[in-house]
Structure 1
């Protein structure tokens, strides 16, 4: 209501009410009175609450005093009990739970003392009554403890029996509680839970081991008590039954613990298998996804196939590297089944599925590798066909060149044409090899191979090859027929120049007379070793040049043989010059044949010179070595004599 009135007042003031000042004064007075009222209410509530706290404290004190007095009466009721087993057991039943109650009473006293200190500060006028109440409680509490102390002193030997019975109750309670804990069927759902439960179970074992000495001592004392007792006494019979039950419970606890440990161990092993299986299945999923993508890829060129093969090799390498993980899962599953794991069938079934999936992936990977290799062969064939077709097209353009019409240096052009023709013939093997590859590809029935395309490419190459051979043959014929006489003369001139250079090499620097009159070559070669350059390096250079000349000589032999063919064709065109043509040809052949023996002799002489110079150098090296050793020996001798 106050809030509503305040809102109405603010509305009137905002609307410029003519009595705005009066409204403000009235609402301010109302708010002031309302605040004062709330303070009074709060103060009253605090006073009531404080008074209630004091009353509650007194009530709790009275209840605690009654609680302690009840315990005093219970203890006093045991004073008339005897010190035999029956009396002690009766007293034990009456005092059952007293130790627990004593601890609870002490805790309650501590709480009341703290509350009393607070109330004395808040209510000084009640401080005396509060203090007296606390003293009253402490007095009763002291009385209870004194009665217990005197009771224990008066028990004498019965106190030990009472302690035994108390320990027996405590141990029996612990045994029952521990059996219940061990008997709990906690099945872990994760590996971490399994490890945690196994650690907790091991902690229980440690606790059991700690109770072992107490159990042995208690068992020994109990048997001493009942050994000479009256077998008809119900109390002793009951104690004997409790001790027997204690033995059974202790042994049962040990069996239960080992059974639970085996169960938890198998549960942890299963969770380990699940973890490893999940990891293996992730690997298998990745493998299957990659193989599925790979099957959808269709290479369009040789480069595409090479890239796919490289990726597949990397994939297969990784797959083989992960094989140990798959085999590890299967081996672990086999071991668990051999150990009669309680989930052996489930484990073996899952491991079998994993192994089958891996085997299928590996088989599919091998099949994909075979397909890629087949594609590689196919596209390699296509690329080789393209390369040969490009080469044939280039050589066809070269063969169609008509520069043979220029008669300048016709012999050089003819030699080049022969080399060109020899190059073509030497590459014929490429076409034959491609044909063999084509037949092999078609015979192997690869799925991705187009047999019609293979035949088409081979037919194109055959046509291009036939065309190139025809153009080359026609060009050679035109080149020779158009300039046959001039070509014959240039061939002779070229060979004469070559043989003249050979003669200069043969007799350059030799200390003997060489008669070159009328083209006759003297074959007299000196036998003394007197080279122009009398050292090993110069001799090696001459031998190297000799080897080059011999290689060139073999090539020129083909020109000499070709000259005979040219002469026969030229005589058919110019029969009146047949004798002159044969004379020139025979002179060249005779002169060429006379170069062979001198070249062989010079090679032999150079090799002999090389051996001689090598021998001289070896002697010089030995002399240098002896000189160094002699100097070193002299130095050592001087040092010895000087010292």
Structure 2
């Protein structure tokens, strides 16, 4: 156990020694590593200092300063780092192991560190001085860049489309000039302060600054000249656009005038309104004259601007062309206004003429309407007297119509408007033609009515004759239809009267034929009462035929009655004779003696001769009876009875 404990203690000592050896080796390793790193850092700084780079610009110089101060790097060596290395070296020396080697490295490192610190301080100062110059150059570059920016703005062509944009460009240019003035003051401040302060710090870098300063001064002079030139251009552009705006304002006014006051719109409703419009149009002329004078002054101003532009004609071709077109358009607009006023004046005069024409048209229309109303009267008279009165009125109407002054005035005035080529020529022509057509139609209607009245007159004359003849025929038919022939009294006288009656009928045949001819003529001439006339003629013909038939019938009846009367008389004579014969034959006297017998025989012989002689009369009576029977005599019954008796 003691042996084991002894070995355990030995093991612990051995382990402790090994641990101390590891600690020492670790410290040596760390010391050597740190020394190597610091020496590497020192070499890097020495190379940087040896290169003596002060930077191309402010940013580069700032980066070198940061690099010199190890800003943003993983490795940075300072007094604390050197102190730690020295402390570690002291620790290793105190351990009495490799103390010479450690001490040599420490001394060498400290010497290099001290030497480097002075070099770094000098190099840092050079960088700081260079940084100020770089800052100056940066400020100068910034000034120059701003000048270049302003140069681009100042050299930009003025392309203002209107007055507002031109004035806006002018305001921008004024702001630009103020900016340039501020840049100039800033440059003077830099030149007066920083340049004088830094002039001796780094002559090489300051040479570059002097070049920049000279360049800036040249640019300032050029920019000042450009600003002055552009200012003149902008002022001229403002004047030019003010001129264009004045022209535009005049054109707008002209457009409004052309639309509202010079347009050809027919608004007047009567002659008075047309006269008022003409008067108002005269006021428009006064307004046009005032504007025309202003426009003349404006044109003269435009011509002066044109002369200014032509001083540099090559550069101002577009503006010259635009201004010339504007002046030409303005002249054309002025001519258009003058012509529009003249056209409107003529138009308003024609409007007044149109109202005059319409007034004449209304008068003619009213007059024609009244006359047409007169002709719409369908009254053609109810008798001849009424027709004659209507004819007198119609003749007076025609006389009042012939050469009517209203229509003559209308036609004359219309011809004047035709010659003037009036704007409403179509309607005027239509109304004029309408009035003339109505007049011609009225004349035609008057002629037609005249013809109708004449026809009516002829009709009533015809009707008068017709009524006379109709009455005469009716009366004669009554006479002809008289059955006086049935009475045997005065039959011979009746026959004579009837013969006279028929002679009267024949004597009036000419009147009837004349009436029929008159009626036929009216029908052939298409009389408006042709149907009535034809009916009347047919009636007359019928009555005339009836009269002739009745007269013939009565004549026949009278003849038959007279024949019957003679028959009756013959029968009566024979009857008396027969009675006498019968009385003689009924005598019982046969004679008393021969002489008386002979006398009786002689008488009987005479009687037989008498009978024989009367046989012819008997046969005649039989023949007449047979004739009466065949002819269906109207007294056949009486005749047969008489014949039988």
Range class of TM-score, shorter chain: 0.3 to 0.5
Instruction: Provide the TM-score with structure 1 as the length reference.
Output: 0.37
Give the number of the structure whose alpha-carbon radius of gyration is greater: 2
